[in-house]
Structure 1
Amino acid sequence: MSSPHDFDFFFGGWDVRNRRLADFLDPESGWQEFTATHRCWSLFDGAANIDEIDCSSQGFKGLTLRLFDRETEDWSLNWSSSRTGKLFPPVIGRFTDGRGEFYGDDTHDGKDVRVRFVWSGISERTARWEQAFSVDGEKTWVTNWVMEFTRRPTDS
């Protein structure tokens, strides 16, 4: 069962290793790798949080606002990039047995895409996030961005 404390593990500072496809819809486009730093803050006694990831080597920062809906017990994850300043459509979902799955609809390069975020590998010191797109109604997915989080030593 999902709860307002599902993301409590994420509060504080992290170092991030990113792997991202050069073209989010082409699995053969090759992976780009870069590091980032990340910090997450709790709001609404855990039922909301906001984070910022600093990808300075790539020239942008990202922000996520997560909100827990107490009626449905679902989370909405809302992403924005400093490159655009626009809020992307949310992905919505929940945690089950330590794994979070969140789905939504968006467009990429003019194509309608189904978006999936997966949170896994969660411990005191590590977490994994991945993004995948589907253009065929969820028959197939292209995993196009993976972030491996490691707790910063000063945030133990």
Structure 2
Amino acid sequence: MKMVVVSDTHLPKRKKGLPERLLDELKDAELIIHAGDWQTLDVYHQLRTYGRVEGVYGNVDDEEIIALLPSKKIVEAGGFRFGITHGHGKGKTTEKRAIEAFKGEKVDCIIFGHSHIPVKRYEGDILIFNPGSPTDKRKQKMFSFGVFTISDRITAEHIFFK
């Protein structure tokens, strides 16, 4: 199973549309996860043309997106449980807030956004993953998003591009 993971698209504020590099990966994705800061519901509808979309709202999303999506959720795919949250809030780091959001819940992976900083590491047995942003790299050298391959395990990679 192929899963594309994205966050912080901030459309149309940062770019006019989703980049071709991301659109190429979406063509054969079975599941698309967005970890918030869509900025517009048009992104949700565009992603849905490629496949099943699961996501959460972020701190810049409007009431229309907030009415459609939760602030955090757990999605089951390929026999694994993925916790999704944007990670915004007060105190602690974005990563620590994301991890804390799923404290006491059984998840195999926590996906978050907000910082625009790509992260892929393990906290015990839990994969901690921030895809970065495909449209607003901020101080990062490259734009990024994630591609997961799910079989008997989760293989996660960042796709970096200019």
TM-score (norm 1): 0.34
User: TM-score, structure 2 length as denominator?
Assistant: 0.33
Q: Which has the larger radius of gyration?
A: 1
Query: Per residue, is there more strand in 1 or in 2?
Result: 1
Q: Looking at both structures, which has the greater relative contact order when contacts are Cα pairs under 8 Å and sequence separation is at least 6?
A: 2
